[in-house]
Structure 1
Amino acid sequence: MTTASPPALTIAQEKVDFFPANRVTDDRSILTLKALVMEPLCMWRDGRIFPALFARWECDAQGTVWHFHLRPDAVFHDGHRCTAMDVVAFIDAICTSVDMFGMKWSYARYFADVHFDALSDDTLRVTTARPMGDLPEIFTEFYLSRQDAHARAVIGTGRYRVTQFTPGVSATLHPAVVGTEPELTFFAVPKAEDRLERLRTGRIDLACQMDCLEDVSDLTPDVQWLGATHCLSVMAYLNCSRGLFRSAEARLAANLAIDNAALCREIYDGLAIPAATIVSPYHNGFAEAGITPLPYDPDAARALLAPLGFTGEVVLRTPTFMPEHAPKIAGFIKRALEDLGLDVRIDTATDRPGYAREIGNKAMGDIAIFDSSPHSTFRVLNDKISRESHGVWWQGFDDDAVETLIARANETIDPTARAAAYGACLAHLREAPPWLYLAHPKTLVATRPGLHGIGLDHKGILHLEPEHRT
């Protein structure tokens, strides 16, 4: 007797694409597709690491030789067995990859003194020059795939296989095991308002990335709403190399001047939580840090600024999007700093890729609104905070104490001890902020009434539960 497949679902999201295999992304639309069709080497869940394509792993007592073992039943949808050589080839390609703005990812720097060897079909050996406890977490960003006949990286080992794909337009996915899950059709609908209209008129079952609505208060009861706080940080870089914010006191003062709770209410309509440090509550080490957001205390901020005698102009740069509502956030920051007596000028950039390249090249003015998307505490510290790493997003922050704390955490192998070590980093950075801590927005999905079994994780990825939806 044949079991009937669950009814098909039609989903609208901002983008429909898979990207080349060597292009890592943090885009929620693309990660949703990748997570259905492919599998990461290891699985991240709220700062903890679990098996995925790698079923298990171990390292030696020195923490410099690792062995990762592939799940024995890992087979791509075209019948090709997933092997350790596939992993080596993927990592080699990743080390030359670029992000959506054409800027090189940091993996080549992470792996500069790391060697990858396929000891057998099932076992990968990784040898590092120094202990590297975060290796499994880095692997959570790597989704293995193979190319189809059109050189598109759409063949994975996951729950779904791709049966139709028109880049930038649509994709149809069928369950890898027939009859177990519904057929899924994704459509690219760039504007959140258009996605919501399609849902309200019955043309789709789900509308994703609805936190991108211009008016986030438009959460009407005629559809179901599902939300999860994102691990992404909306923040503003402070120029630690020159100007007012070379001063640690000025950086702390700027943070005390921002009423983050009011920002979350007024700009996000309550659909965000205030930030307390450089990462979210779902990152490794946050719980161990035992911290809360800095208080709103403009009087203390004025007291910190007064001895500095600063009389110049503060240039506040902002894009028009990424993060969402960036111009409104810029206006909020401007008003808060002007209340301290500072002269603030907003410089709006309309070319978002160009803006990212300028910030990466340190052309940031005094303050630059941005977002921090890695779900890895290691990556945020390495790419954006550490003077020793001097990553592309580092803006001149120089703190001897935090360098010691980062090195200690990086080289700690035991997961519990490493989380505590990262907690010490995060607690220190709460008191000595390198940038403006603003908010962690919610990811929103809207569905037709009565649809169940839909989930969101803290990376903003849509998940379908194994049990069927009505």
Structure 2
Amino acid sequence: MITIALEKVDFLPADRVTDDASILTLKNLVMEPMLRWENGAPRPGLFDRWSLSEDGCRWTLTLREGAAYHDGSAVAAEDAKCFIEAICDARDMFGMPWSYARYLEGASFEASGATLEIMTPKPFPDLPDILSEFYLPKLDGAGQPTLGTGPWQVKDFDRGRSVTLGDAAGRSLRFLAIAGAGERLSALRAGDVQLATHLERLETPARSLEGYAWHEQATTMSVIAYMNGSEGAFSDPALRLAANLAIDRARLIDEVMGGLGVPARTIVSPFHNGMSPELAAIPFDPEGAARLVGESSEKREIVLRTPLYMPERAPETAAFIRDCLQAVGFSVSIDIAEDRPGYARELGEKRTGDLAIFDSSPHSTFRVLDDKISSRSRAVWWQGVEDPLVDALFEEARRSVDPQTRTGLYGGILAHLGANPHWLYLYHPIDCMARKPGLEGFSLDPKGILRVA
């Protein structure tokens, strides 16, 4: 049996969605997403065939042949229909409503045997992005959502402590919940586990571990600072650009993150739909930033809000941002929020200060634009920036049925947002794990999920 250290061990209720990589690791082994997501494109999952009508308003999805839960009962499209209807009322880990109800407002669902049809009042070609976040569980005899359709089956589950999985080939995996990265590393060195995940969270960042195989994976997450576009300094587009020009991202990643990051160029990561490797990097140009600050009539006093964690080393990142911005003419005070769930709720209520450090986790370009950028949607994470060009391009992209056309339109939006920033773009984290030498078949994907071959 191979023993693995995760930060958490749990299976959440069916109507709870999470972006926690430890919980998603277990979900991806025991269950299957309705569709898989890979570098911005859908791939077969629990449904292995799908089509979209010419008008973009009717999706037809078919379950893979023989799909069954681990108790032997067959999966029916009706199960997926009920799941989707229920999850539209879901809340995230902070108690904030997810956006699924808004995306699917006015939608209707029909299920017959292995076929699910989803009808939307307007074209919705990005629906596969949403379905890639939905994992279909079934309750076991103890009322736990541990019965899935994936390659690994739950053999023993002690919520919050450990879970043992087995596959058809007779292999066994045991996952232990070890909350601290330092404790996970100690367990690996002591031989209590053979693999430890999320070592990017060590107090002192590491890039290798003597005597062990070390893995690093750039992720889809974006570490950013939201800008208050409704009032104050960052209601001025020139000052939003100035702040971005003032940040030395390479030095931030090196000095604060120990090298564990990729400089951000726009609102999403290199893995997102529409991203191009040719997208221009945001230059470090303090002289240009100072010139823009000097030319603006807006106030230069800024309140920079930060949590203690999520993202990692948030207070240290805030101090770095403060120094960069003050060097080009801003005056920055830092407000530290100790209640992380409360902080998220405050940002959702637009109590942002002028800048607020946060992370953006959706792997869907559509979701980031709709939830956080579009002034037409004005969703919970939108912070007041109005950009008519982006709104018009996004409306065209989100209704474009042809995938290549839609990707090109998203690419244009991302390039525009790189040059005309709505947020302070910082970096995309790199996740790390270490394993005992000779232990093969384990990797991290861009969501930070542990994959098992």
Of 368, 375, 380, which aligns to 1:380? 368
1:399 and 2:392 correspond: no
Which residue does 1:173 correspond to in 2? 165
Determine the C-alpha separation between the residues in 1 that align with 2:35 and 2:173: 25
Determine the C-alpha separation between the residues in 1 that align with 2:142 and 2:95: 23
Determine the C-alpha separation between the residues in 2 that align with 1:340 and 1:40: 47
Of 389, 413, 418, which aligns to 1:430? 418
Which residue does 1:241 correspond to in 2? 230
Which residue does 1:4 correspond to in 2? none
- Residue 310 of structure 1 and its aligned partner are, at CA, apart by 4.1
Indicate if the aligned counterparts of 1:113 and 1:129 stay in contact, CA closer than 8 A. Answer: yes
Which residue does 1:361 correspond to in 2? 349
Instruction: Describe the SS at the equivalent of 1:57.
Output: strand
Which residue does 1:348 correspond to in 2? 336
Indicate if the aligned counterparts of 2:200 and 2:206 stay in contact, CA closer than 8 A. Answer: no
Which residue does 1:72 correspond to in 2? 65
Determine the C-alpha separation between the residues in 1 that align with 2:338 and 2:133: 29
Gaps of 5+ in 2: none
1:328 and 2:316 correspond: yes
Which residue does 1:286 correspond to in 2? 275
1:48 and 2:41 correspond: yes
Determine the C-alpha separation between the residues in 1 that align with 2:377 and 2:281: 27
Amino acid at match of 2:35: C
Q: Percent identity?
A: 49
Instruction: Describe the SS at the equivalent of 2:328.
Output: coil
Query: How do residues 305-316 of structure 1 correspond to structure 2 at under 5 angstroms?
Result: 305-316=293-304
- Residue 421 of structure 1 and its aligned partner are, at CA, apart by 1.1
Of 66, 87, 97, which aligns to 2:90? 97
Determine the C-alpha separation between the residues in 2 that align with 1:410 and 1:311: 36
Of 201, 208, 218, which aligns to 1:229? 218
TM-score by length of 1: 0.95
Query: How do residues 148-167 of structure 1 correspond to structure 2 at under 5 angstroms?
Result: 148-167=140-159
CA deviation string 1:118-149 (max 9, x = no partner): 1x111111111111110111110001100112
Indicate if the aligned counterparts of 1:200 and 1:222 stay in contact, CA closer than 8 A. Answer: no
Indicate if the aligned counterparts of 2:63 and 2:115 stay in contact, CA closer than 8 A. Answer: yes
Instruction: Describe the SS at the equivalent of 2:146.
Output: strand
Instruction: Describe the SS at the equivalent of 1:146.
Output: coil
TM-score by length of 2: 0.98
Determine the C-alpha separation between the residues in 2 that align with 1:240 and 1:311: 13
Indicate if the aligned counterparts of 1:200 and 1:223 stay in contact, CA closer than 8 A. Answer: no
Amino acid at match of 2:404: T
Query: What is the aligned residue count?
Result: 453
> Over aligned residues, Cα RMSD in angstroms?
1.1
1:460 and 2:452 correspond: no
- Residue 292 of structure 1 and its aligned partner are, at CA, apart by 2.8
After superposing on structure 2, the runs of 4+ consecutive aligned residues of structure 1 that deviate more than 6 Å are none
Determine the C-alpha separation between the residues in 1 that align with 2:227 and 2:203: 27
Query: How do residues 94-173 of structure 1 correspond to structure 2 at under 5 angstroms?
Result: 94-118=87-111, 120-173=112-165
CA deviation string 1:221-244 (max 9, x = no partner): 122111110110011001001100
Indicate if the aligned counterparts of 2:294 and 2:329 stay in contact, CA closer than 8 A. Answer: no
Indicate if the aligned counterparts of 1:315 and 1:345 stay in contact, CA closer than 8 A. Answer: yes
- Residue 313 of structure 1 and its aligned partner are, at CA, apart by 2.3
Instruction: Describe the SS at the equivalent of 1:390.
Output: coil
Which residue does 1:468 correspond to in 2? none
Instruction: Describe the SS at the equivalent of 1:143.
Output: coil
- Residue 406 of structure 1 and its aligned partner are, at CA, apart by 0.6
Instruction: Describe the SS at the equivalent of 1:20.
Output: coil
Indicate if the aligned counterparts of 1:84 and 1:123 stay in contact, CA closer than 8 A. Answer: yes
Determine the C-alpha separation between the residues in 1 that align with 2:431 and 2:11: 20
Amino acid at match of 1:82: V
